[in-house]
Structure 1
Amino acid sequence: MVGVPSLIDELERTLSSGSSVQRADILRRVTDLFLVNVESYTEDHVAVFDDVMCHLIEKIERSALIRLSKQLAPATTGPVRAIHRLAENDDIEISGPLIERSKILSDDFLIELAKTKSQAHLAAIAGRETLTEKVTDVLVEHGDDDVTLRVTGNHGARFSRPGFMKVAEKAQSDGRLAEQFVARSDIPPDVFQHLLRKATEVVKNRLLKNADIDMRVRITRTLADIATEVARERAQIDKDSYSPGIVMSAEPGRLKAKIGELAQAGKRTETIEALAALSKLPVPTVKNLMRQGATDGLLILCKSIALGWPDVKRVLATVGGIETEPEIKKAFERYVGLTSETANRVVRFVKSCKAISKADFQRML
């Protein structure tokens, strides 16, 4: 503690009659002395520095306070009262460095800040290296869109299940947030599905467009599972109640829900009739389309009626004889890459023609 007594004497003189420049200078010297030897100080020593800094904080200008905050932010041991006083300052330029970096600030202190301070303060908390679930929950509850986006993109932040669900609700119509959300590796699978079930088409398309190949496959499979599940939830027809006549007369929604079951049961004729009925094409035209395009023809028909992948796979096996893993994988990649717009364009073209040649078919793709 060499030099401290003289600094304290100088401090008293400066506070009573010194200029703002002199007060800033003595604060700098006190801070430098503290940081240079911080590891060797006892609790009593630190308390002395704390008292000195607290005296100065009330007397010095903004620029000096900003500098002090930045200097103290990385310290693992420090003047606790001074750090807390700076961190609760309404001026984010003063409080921000400590809020975002100081390990001395407790969760309870951060939670109180999040409940009472500005969105800029919440954004600083959201940028901390690590965050516990209880702090993250408060940020999601009280934060605006920018705060939610930042904390969701912070992979050092831990989320509770309710916290994840709240972010998923916000991300349904927010493409940026949805991208940050699905990039997290700790999302429960059912929460991931919940987001995709509720997301707008704009958000779904953005996720598919910008995701890497693994995430795109996961999203596509999840969307396919959701489509199948929703269709089956609406279905009221018993699994064994179909015959060719019933297939042709069933309501489209109920027929779509059962098309996978027809295919799984090996009912090839009924499956083709169902495809024809749902795409509003004559059965011979559907068969011709399948002949011309083989697997692609089936995929186009399935995409045009928005059939989920699990059911598409069953149709491919029963109608197209596609069952090996390499064939299925290739078909899946084709199905993911095929847009509804392209599929519907081919179907419209087929409806306008009496026949379609293989050349016509390839040109449409």
Structure 2
Amino acid sequence: MSNLPNTELVNFEALARDGDMSRRNELAQNVAALFSLTSESCSDEQMRIYDSVLHRLSEMVETQAREFMARQLASLRRAPEQTVRRLADDEIGVARPLLERSTVLRDRDLVQIAESKGDDHRLAIAAREVLSKLVTDVLVKTGSAGVQRAVAANEGASLSRAGVDRLLEASGLDEELQLALAGRGDLGEADIAALASFASERVRVRLFGGTGKDGEDGLPKAARIAAQRLSNDYWLKRYDFETAMGRVKALARGEGIDEGTLLRFIDEDRFAEVVATFSILGDIGLEEAMHWMVRIDTDPFLIVARACGLASETVQKLLAIGPWRYRLPDEQRERAVTRYRTLNAKSARLLLDQWRGRIAC
């Protein structure tokens, strides 16, 4: 007796008996296309069904069909997680669009793929619009010179201290990597001086003399791109908060939610679920939680967290997840934690009550 699931979309028992691969390919493509058209309106239950069906189909079809599925899912804000992870770990022709664009993939997924796959997969990851230090550290450490150049040239890639040092060391005889580093807007003065000490004349011109285009060099351009990413809306549109809130409300109705729920979602790198949980714990509404956990000014978040009685260690972890992972410098994060420890819980609760009153009006 087959244990393949049957749904309203696909009868897997019949499909398994049918040896016609072209029919399987066509079916998988049709289901993926249908989902791409309806993803924003799918309920949580429909999303689970699509995920189960698409994941099972991805294991029954040829490369061409999987490539089509990946292209359909790559740019969706709401996409079936299990299927996306399976296809992102596939051969590069399938994986590339997801590795380059899918916001469903979390850092732990990207790290696992970067460590287990080859440079083609790493280059696709390096092309993502935003990369955390956790991911770039792995790319710079495990990747070839081409991967290192791609990371250095990506203005949306955050670099750790170790990452910058490794790239500077690797750029000694690599002018292309030197040029990529010279075009970044986030190098410190000491890093720029170190690069200039061994860089070619062409790179020194890029660093200090400008490129001659519109009177601007690469540093202001990189800074402008970085400034664009300071927009709250830029970050908010990357996450599926609606589905996350549905999951968290179901948890709240069942086993309940508490600070431990926050910590579990932090550990799983599920920012949208973290925001949804925080909004319920703080009784502030999803919209407010979304904006207060993205903005550079962390005071509203800190006041709600203190009113909820969250531990300092939890707040420290919250300040390092989602957009704050990219937007908050380490020094600012440390100052926020220090400020949190000085906040008076009673005053925070009174202020939060006032905010709730304004929101209700």
| Bin of the TM-score, shorter chain as denominator length | 0.5 to 0.7
Partner SS, residue 105 of structure 2: coil
The corresponding residue for 2:127 is: 127
Query: Superposed, which structure 2 residues align to 1:332-347 within 5 Å?
Result: none
Alignment equivalent of 1:214, drawn from 200, 210, 216: 210
Structure 1: how far apart are the matches of 2:63 and 2:178?
39
Structure 2: how far apart are the matches of 1:45 and 1:127?
31
**Shift of residue 215 of structure 1?**
7.0
Pairing 1:22–2:23 present: yes
**Shift of residue 139 of structure 1?**
0.9
Counterpart AA for 1:81: Q
The corresponding residue for 1:166 is: 166
Structure 2: how far apart are the matches of 1:204 and 1:42?
57
Pairing 1:179–2:179 present: yes
**Shift of residue 211 of structure 1?**
6.3
Counterpart AA for 2:171: A
Count how many residue pairs are aligned between Structure 1 and Structure 2: 210
Alignment equivalent of 2:10, drawn from 8, 11, 19: 8
The corresponding residue for 2:289 is: none
Is the CA contact (8 Å cut-off) linking 2:205 and 2:211 kept in structure 1? no
Is the CA contact (8 Å cut-off) linking 2:182 and 2:206 kept in structure 1? no
Structure 1: how far apart are the matches of 2:78 and 2:180?
34
Deviations 1:208-256 (A, max 9, x none): 466673379xx9xxxxxxxxxxxxxxxxxxxxxxxxxxxxxxxxxxxxx
Structure 2: how far apart are the matches of 1:160 and 1:207?
22
Q: RMSD of the TM alignment (CA)?
A: 2.4
Counterpart AA for 1:191: D
Pairing 1:155–2:155 present: yes
The corresponding residue for 1:75 is: 76
Partner SS, residue 8 of structure 1: coil
Partner SS, residue 157 of structure 2: coil
Structure 1: how far apart are the matches of 2:170 and 2:73?
36
Structure 2: how far apart are the matches of 1:93 and 1:76?
21
Pairing 1:102–2:102 present: yes
Distance 1:59 1:144, change over 3 A: same
The corresponding residue for 1:204 is: 200
The corresponding residue for 1:50 is: 51
Structure 2: how far apart are the matches of 1:50 and 1:15?
18
Partner SS, residue 128 of structure 1: coil
Structure 2: how far apart are the matches of 1:164 and 1:211?
16
Alignment identity in percent?
A: 30
The corresponding residue for 2:313 is: none
Is the CA contact (8 Å cut-off) linking 2:127 and 2:151 kept in structure 1? yes
Structure 1: how far apart are the matches of 2:94 and 2:208?
40
Structure 2: how far apart are the matches of 1:30 and 1:215?
49
Deviations 1:93-124 (A, max 9, x none): 01111111110111011111111110111111
Counterpart AA for 1:8: V
Is the CA contact (8 Å cut-off) linking 1:126 and 1:154 kept in structure 2? yes
**Shift of residue 71 of structure 1?**
0.9
Structure 2: how far apart are the matches of 1:65 and 1:101?
16
Structure 1: how far apart are the matches of 2:102 and 2:28?
19
Distance 1:58 1:100, change over 3 A: same
Counterpart AA for 2:101: R
Distance 1:5 1:110, change over 3 A: closer
Structure with greater contact order relative to length (CA < 8 Å, sep ≥ 6)? 2
Is the CA contact (8 Å cut-off) linking 1:169 and 1:195 kept in structure 2? no
The corresponding residue for 1:333 is: none
Counterpart AA for 1:51: S
Pairing 1:143–2:143 present: yes
Is the CA contact (8 Å cut-off) linking 1:152 and 1:180 kept in structure 2? yes
Is the CA contact (8 Å cut-off) linking 2:25 and 2:65 kept in structure 1? yes
Counterpart AA for 1:205: E
**Shift of residue 6 of structure 1?**
4.7
Runs of 4+ in 1 over 6 A off after TM superposition: none
Gaps of 5+ in 1: 220-365
Structure 2: how far apart are the matches of 1:112 and 1:30?
28
Partner SS, residue 7 of structure 1: coil
Pairing 1:191–2:187 present: no
Gaps of 5+ in 2: 1-5, 218-361
Deviations 1:276-325 (A, max 9, x none): xxxxxxxxxxxxxxxxxxxxxxxxxxxxxxxxxxxxxxxxxxxxxxxxxx
Deviations 1:157-186 (A, max 9, x none): 111122111111111211111011011111
Query: Superposed, which structure 2 residues align to 1:262-277 within 5 Å?
Result: none
